[in-house]
Structure 1
Amino acid sequence: MRTTTPQKPRLTTSAMIASIASEGQRTVPAPFGHALVKEAAKRPEIVGMTADLSKYTDLHIFANAYPNRHFQMGMAEQLLMGAAGGMAKEGFMPFATTYAVFATRRAYDFIHQVIAEEHLNVKIAAALPGLTTGYGPSHQATEDIALMRGIPGMTIIDPCDALDTEQAVAAVAAHQGPVYMRLLRGKVPLVLDEYDYQFEIGKASLLREGNEVLLISSGIMTMRSLETAKALAADNVNVAVLHVPTIKPLDEATIIAQCSRPGRLVVVVENHSTIGGLGEAVATTLMRAQVVTPFKQIALPDSYLDAGALPTLHDRYGISTEAMVASLKSWLR
C-alpha cells in the first residue's frame, strides 16, 4: 500500500501586496502612516509626497490628517524626487514614498544629484523592499540597499517590525540629511516590544544571547532570526541575534565586538541580494578589523527572482524560518 507524507498547508497571499505576518501573529496597522501623523503634529515643516501610491505606502493616513501638506505627483518618480529636493531647499521636510524599485532604480540619478549631493533633508520611505512582493523582478527591490549604499552621506534604515518603524520615523525626522528607509506597510508584525528595544540611528541591538551561533540581521530577517533561534533552542543550540536596523552608518564597533567572541559561527541574514548589502558590509568591516571568524550568509541570490506567493518564494530562496533552521543545522554538523 502506498503512503503519502502529509503536506504542510501553505498560506495563500496576494502576489502584489502580501503580508509578511505569519498566521495568528500580532500586527499593527499602518505604523508608518500613524507615526508620520504624530511627528507632523510637532513639525509643521513635514510634508508627505508620493508617486500615485498613497494607499500602498500608508501615506493615505497622513493625507487624511493633513490634506494641505500631502502632494500627489502622479506616476513620475523622477519628478517626485526632484520636487522633494526643491521642497527641502525651501525649508520643508519631505517624506517621499513609493515602491523601492521605483525609488532606487527609476529615480536613482535624481536622488544622487538633486538630493544627496546637496545633503538635502529628504526622507525616502520605500515600500516592498527585497522579497516582500511576489510580483516578480519588476517590483522586487533585491538590490536597493546596494544602490543606496553607494551614495555619499545617505543614511539607510531597514526596520524589523511595527515598533521599529514607529521609532525610526521619529528618529529620521530628528536627523538632518537624506535618509532611505525600507518601508513595512499594511498590517506589520509586532515582535520587538518583547525585547526592551529602542531604535537609534547607527546603533545595533543584541536581542538575544547565544554561544554557538551569532545571527546578524536587519529588517524582516530579524523577525525570522528570532524565530530560528527559538526553534533551534529546542535542539539545545544557543543562537544569539544582533539586530542591525541601520545599514549606513554601520555600527562597526558592536559588530566587531560580537564577532570577536570565539567559538561562534557568524551568519549574516538579509532580505537582499548577496551583492552589496548587509552581508558584504559586515564582511568588509571584519576584514578591515582583521577579525577572523567562521562566516556564512543567508540572502537572496544574485539573480532575477520568480513571481508567486510569498511563502513559497521565501522557502525557495532560503529566507523562511524553516529554510533558515535547515541551513544552520547543516552548517553546524
Structure 2
Amino acid sequence: MSASTPQRSAAMIASIADDGVPTTQAPFGHALAELAERDERVVGLTADLGKYTDMHVFAAAHPSRFVQVGMAEQALMTVAAGMATTGLVPFASTYSVFATRRAYDFIALDIAEPQLNVTIVGGLPGLTTGYGPSHQATEDVAILRGIPGLVIVDPADAVDVEQAVPALAAAPGPAYLRLLRGAVPRVLDRYDYRFEIGRAAVVRPGNDVVLVSSGLMTMRALLAAERLSEHHVDVSVVHCATLKPFDEETVLREIDGPRLPLTLENHSVVGGLFETVASAMVRRGVSVPLRPVALPDEFLDAGALPTLHDRYGLSTDAVVTRVLTELGRG
C-alpha cells in the first residue's frame, strides 16, 4: 500500500467540521447509551454497521440490549418493528442509502403504517462521504417525505444529536434521524438553542440575508454569517432540525420581507428543504425569490470530501461567495 493511500481514504471520510470548530466524538452512541441508563425500554440494532453508525458505543455499554442482524436491512426494520410492538423503544442504524433504497417498503408498512415508536438512524446522509453514489444518500429525504406520520430530523451538530435522541424516544411514532457520526461539530452550544420536534429556531438574527438551513449546513451558515459580517452583510440563520413536520410559521415569518432568502441543505435540490419551503410559500401566498444552496439533481462524483463540498457548493467558502454574488457583490 502506498503512502498516499491512507491520506486519500482519510480525505474521503473526513470530518465535516471546518477548521477550528470543536467536535464531540460519537454523540449519538453516547446519547443513546445514556438514555438507556434511564429507560430500560431502549434497545439498539444495526445491520453490520455498528462501528460506522456509532452504535458500537451503545453495544459496549448495554450488550444485552443490542442486536446485530447482519447485512439484512429489511430484516433490521422488521425486527425493530416487532420489538416496538412489545413496548420496547428501538433505534435501528444502518447507512441512509440502505435504509431508504433497500428497506423502504418495510419502513412504510411495518413501522410507519402502524405508527410504531422506531427511530431509523441513517449514517452518511447527503454528501458526507466521498465514496460515490452507492454510499451518498443525496435523495433520502425526498424518498421518505411521502411516508405519512414519519418524523424526519436533520441535526446540525452534536448538540442537536444529543437532544434529539431522547426527544425521539419520547415521541409516540416513527422517525428518521440523519446521523452525523464520528467527530461531529459542536456549534449550537454558543447559541440559546433547544431541539424540539417540529420547531425551527432563529439561532442568529440579521437584517440583510436570511439563511434557512438544516443539517451540517447550519454549521456552514453560521460560519458564513461570521465571514459575511466582514463584508458588512448582516445574516440571519434559521435552523430547521425537523424537516417533517415542518415549522412553516417560523420559516415563512423570517423570509417574508425585504431580506434576501436562501435555503441551505446537504441534500439534492429535489425533494428536500428547498422544495419544502417553496411549497409552503406557494400555499401561503409568500412571493419572494428563494435561492437554493443544495446538491444538484445528478449522481455525484467520488473523491476527497472537502474537494467535493467545494465542487458542489456546500463549503463555507462557497456559501460566502454565493451570498455575495446574489447581493451583486461577487
**Alignment TM-score, normalising by the size of structure 1:** 0.95
Match of 1:309 in 2: 304
Match of 1:324 in 2: 319
Deviation for aligned residue 1:16: 5.1
Deviation for aligned residue 1:24: 3.4
Match of 2:285 in 1: 290
For residue 99 of structure 1, the aligned residue among 95, 98, 107 is 95
For residue 243 of structure 2, the aligned residue among 244, 247, 258 is 247
- Counterparts in 2 of 1:16-35, with a 5 A limit? 17-35=13-31
Deviation for aligned residue 1:54: 0.5
SS where residue 203 of structure 1 aligns? coil
For residue 277 of structure 1, the aligned residue among 272, 277, 281 is 272
- Counterparts in 2 of 1:117-196, with a 5 A limit? 117-196=113-192
Match of 1:205 in 2: 201
Distance in 1 between residues matched to 2:94 and 2:315, nearest whole Å: 26
Distance in 1 between residues matched to 2:242 and 2:169, nearest whole Å: 15
Distance in 2 between residues matched to 1:263 and 1:211, nearest whole Å: 9
SS where residue 56 of structure 1 aligns? helix
- Mapped contact 2:12–2:305 kept (Cα < 8 A): no
SS where residue 214 of structure 1 aligns? strand
Q: Give the counterpart letter for 2:275 in structure 1.
A: E
Distance in 2 between residues matched to 1:64 and 1:12, nearest whole Å: 30
Of 20-29 and 95-104, more deviation after overlay is shown by 20-29
Of 84-93 and 62-71, more deviation after overlay is shown by 84-93
Match of 1:86 in 2: 82
Deviation for aligned residue 1:15: 5.2
- 1:237 aligns to 2:233 (yes or no): yes
Q: List, as ranges, runs of 4+ consecutive aligned residues in structure 1 with deviation greater than 6 Å.
A: none
Deviation for aligned residue 1:57: 0.6
- Mapped contact 1:84–1:94 kept (Cα < 8 A): yes
SS where residue 52 of structure 2 aligns? coil
- Mapped contact 1:29–1:186 kept (Cα < 8 A): yes
Q: Give the counterpart letter for 2:151 in structure 1.
A: T
- Mapped contact 2:130–2:304 kept (Cα < 8 A): yes
Q: Give the counterpart letter for 2:40 in structure 1.
A: P
- Mapped contact 1:15–1:133 kept (Cα < 8 A): no
- Mapped contact 1:219–1:245 kept (Cα < 8 A): yes
SS where residue 14 of structure 1 aligns? helix
Distance in 2 between residues matched to 1:313 and 1:158, nearest whole Å: 20
- 1:47 aligns to 2:50 (yes or no): no
Match of 1:299 in 2: 294
- Mapped contact 1:13–1:19 kept (Cα < 8 A): no
Give per-residue Cα distances to partners, 1:237-286, cap 9 Å, x unaligned.
111100000000000110121122x2111100000000000110000001
Aligned length: 322
For residue 66 of structure 1, the aligned residue among 50, 62, 65 is 62
- 1:216 aligns to 2:218 (yes or no): no
Deviation for aligned residue 1:18: 2.5
- Mapped contact 2:313–2:319 kept (Cα < 8 A): yes
Match of 1:5 in 2: none
Identical amino acids, percent of aligned pairs? 59
Deviation for aligned residue 1:14: 2.3
